[in-house]
Amino acid sequence: MKTLLIIAWRNIWRHPGRSGVLIAAIIVGLWAGVVTVGTMNGMLQQRVSYLIDSEVTHLQIHNPEFLTERLAADYIPDHDEITGWLSQDERVRSFSPRVMADGMLQSPVKTSGVRIRGIDVEQESATTTFHENMIEGEYLDAGVRNSVVMGKSLMDEHGLRIGNRIVLTFEDAQGELTSSAFNITGIFRSASTEYDDRNLLVRKSDLYGLIAETPVFHEIAVMLHNEDDATAVVDDLNEAFPEITARTWRQISPELSTLIGLGGYMLYIVTLIIMAALAFGILNTMLMALFERMREIGMLISIGMSRKGVFIMIMMESVLLTLTGTAGGFLLAWLSIGWLGRNGVNFEAFADGIAELGWDHIVYPVISTQEYVAILLVVMFVTLLASLYPAFKAIRINPLEAAKDT
């Protein structure tokens, strides 16, 4: 086997130009593929991380009725017991109870359907990074009664400014409509324009004071020290408090799980497309090499080399050729992703469009060792497939080729 490996390796370099061109094509192809996949991974992971960190959190607790009806009356029963449980569990890093209401925003210009979140600024800031989205004003100024922060796009749509007042109308816990004026104290801009158009933040005490006589919460957002514990914590909560529903972020936003899964599929699709193109290069190179060496292979079979040995030799040549290119491609990709991972890929030219979709315009590519291994496996699979035809052709060579005059 070692000798076959040596012959195969030396055979590759019989025509350094020809092999070099193919190796260069593999290097460039794989580099482009890995960086593309890494960039997509980065986009998806940033999107998922952003949503988890800024709002969704690792797990959430609701009254099960609230999940379908979203009525103010469907608040979390006995929330003190639950928050007490959360405070004592070592896996929990922080949590933030929220009061939720779907309602209507009225400005002098128009009305809009909005989702109102009542939060405790301290607890929310300890749990999520939403406060980082503030671009102007205060994150719910404690000195102003009925303070509200709004998304930039919604402000623009209504022609509002900080200091203006708006009226929010929503149902209370008794199912009666209630309205109150709120003072705009801050503006946020998240990664998603669509989110900014529909969401408002107010202080929890201001909101539950309008909904019920006692403090009520519709949602408790929980961040853990380790995201991997989410399922276990959810199971424990659901067992300890049968009247509530705790769900992991994957259950809350299945589309986020799908996004991550999509990244995995894209890896295979991109690699397969690139390798399918390169497969023709491998096939062509191996066939040219084979036609040039008909007499030599005939000689090898004449003097006693088994056809299996010839088959392995040809396959090894393809594999070594591809592995050389793959090593180069991976090295280049690893260096590129290392640099881009620190500095980011700037899609500033498309920033507005990307923001509409809720994506960051600076993407930090990322690719895992497992993904490198997966790409390598796809590359090897395609290479072996492309080499089968020349290898089978080689083992059908007649030993009489060795004696041919031309």
Instruction: Note whether 181 and 172 are within 8 A (CB).
Output: no
Residue count at the site for other proteins (CB under 8 A)? 23
Does residue 306 touch other proteins according to CB under 8 A?
Answer: yes
Q: 18-49 as b/e, with b when 16 or more CB fall inside 10 Å?
A: ebeebbebbbbbbbbbbbbbbbbbbbbbbbbe
Burial 155-190, CB ≥16 within 10 A → b, else e: bebbebebebebebebbbbeeeebeeebebbbbbbb
CB of 328 to other proteins, least distance (A): 22
- Please say which residue, 299 or 374, places its beta carbon nearer to other proteins: 299
Which of 286, 301, 333, 391 is in the footprint of other proteins by CB under 8 A?
301
305 binds other proteins (CB under 8 A): yes
| Residue 304 contacts other proteins per CB under 8 A | yes
Stretch that binds other proteins, among 79-87, 128-136, 178-186, 398-406 (CB under 8 A): 398-406
Find the part of the chain contacting other proteins (CB under 8 A) among 42-50, 194-202, 207-215, 300-308. 300-308
Is residue 403 close enough to count as binding other proteins by CB under 8 A? yes
* Binding span for other proteins by CB under 8 A among 10-18, 92-100, 171-179, 376-384: 10-18
Tokens matching residue 246: 């705790």
| Helices 16-51 & 254-292 angle (0-180, nearest 10) | 180
The reply to whether 392 sits near other proteins by the rule CB under 8 A is: no
Query: Does residue number 294 form part of the binding site for other proteins (CB under 8 A)?
Result: no
- Token pair of 345 as six digits: 């890929």
Token digits for 258? 């799908």
State which of residues 259, 262, 299, 374 lies at the interface with other proteins (CB under 8 A): 299
The least distance separating other proteins from the CB of residue 322, rounded to whole angstroms, comes to: 19
Query: Which residue, 224 or 301, is less far from other proteins as judged by CB?
Result: 301
- With helix as H, strand as E and coil as C, how does 281-317 read? HHHHHHHHHHHHCHHHHHHHHHHCCCHHHHHHHHHHH
- Minimum gap (Å) between residue 278 Cβ and other proteins: 24
Output the smallest distance, CB 392 to other proteins, in A. 15
d(CA 19, CA 11): 10
Q: Does 323 bind other proteins (CB under 8 A)?
A: no
The answer to whether 18 contacts other proteins (rule: CB under 8 A) is no
Please tell me whether residue 152 binds other proteins under the rule CB under 8 A: no
Count Cβ atoms below 10 Å from residue 154 Cβ, excluding itself.
Answer: 23
Q: How far is CA 242 from CA 64, 67, 85, 89, 185, in A?
A: 10, 15, 14, 18, 39
How big is the CA angle at 72 (ends 66 and 74), to the nearest 5 degrees?
40
The answer to whether 400 contacts other proteins (rule: CB under 8 A) is: yes
* Residue 288 binds to other proteins (criterion: CB under 8 A): no
Contact set with other proteins (CB under 8 A): 3, 7, 10-11, 13-14, 295-296, 299-307, 309, 399-400, 402-403, 405
